[in-house]
Amino acid sequence: MTRHQNNNLLGIGLMLLAMLLFEVMDAVVKWLLSDDMSAIQVIAIRSWMIVPFVIILLAIRGELKQLSVRRPGQHLLRGMIGFLAPFTFFTSLKSLPLADATVVFFSAAFVLTAASAIVLKERVGIHRWSAVAIGFVGVMIAMNPTGDGDIGAYLLVLCATLFYAFIFISGKKMSQHDSIISLVFSLHLGMGVAATVALPWVWVPITMPELGKLTAVAGIALVAHFVFTTAFARAEVSALAPFEYSALLWAVLIGYLVWGDLPTVEVWIGAAIIIAAGLYMAHRETMHRKSG
């Protein structure tokens, strides 16, 4: 077996692990929110833990200079606006089963494609635009607006995808002159500032078990992002793309074991359409890169 194949296999394994960790993190957040804790408090405390950890880690490695940025105000603003991405998604988890929220969040790929074409002026052909349109049809089916689902919560997930697209697009532009670690650090710093400002209005006392869960959320978030980034560093994007959708399987399993939730037929049909459109879009992107 060639080294390239070995890297792809390693990358796929890391991607599966990263998706599992992200879903475990979301499940712990959902658990916390069921105890009447606000998503704002979760985000604030998570940032209080992550920001010092990153500073200490870089200080130990003698790499604090990586945090220097050209426009610090722009970074802080990006983080404060980016705070709305986890806030809207986490808040939706109060009403939605984990799998339902995960399926609708898959539409982030379609939002990113549209945003890349509009904001970054990237070329998006008729094939990928068609995949975007079909993907959103799948989203509408999964949301089942004529059924008993909480449309407000589904709309929060869609809002989360828009703010996620903002984080990604702005990060892509800023990465041209600032390091990736500075972007990650300033994002969490900005999120923490925004959440802390709003915290006095939603603060509830924290028990020791809840503090343990919050610590788990911060730790899992750090490990998941590290594993996710390492997967892309070890394997081709085209090899990894299909395995991002393993998040749905993990979400279904966790949702069933913890809360006894099972997706409706509409959610499964919508998921199938979304995943098919997403995979086709990834295939067209791969072909576009090879032809370029």
Q: Residue 146's pLDDT is what?
A: 60
Which among 77, 106, 89, 100 is positioned nearest to 39, based on CA atoms? Answer: 89
Domain boundaries, position 150 = 3-291
Domain count, the chain: 1
Predicted confidence (pLDDT) per residue in 157-188, tens digit = 999 999 988 888 888 888 888 888 888 888 99
List, run by run, the mean pLDDT of 10-residue segments along the chain (292 residues): 58 91 95 89 94 93 88 88 94 93 89 79 80 89 74 92 88 82 88 95 93 94 85 74 87 94 91 90 71 58
For residue 236, report the phi and psi dihedrals to the nearest 5 degrees. -70, 145
Taking a C-beta distance cutoff of 8 angstroms, is the pair 186, 69 a contact? yes
Run of H or E residues at 81: helix 72-82
Q: Residue 3's pLDDT is what?
A: 41
Quote the CA–CA distance of 116 and 130 in Å, as a whole number: 15
Q: Residue 291's pLDDT is what?
A: 61
Quote the CA–CA distance of 75 and 96 in Å, as a whole number: 32
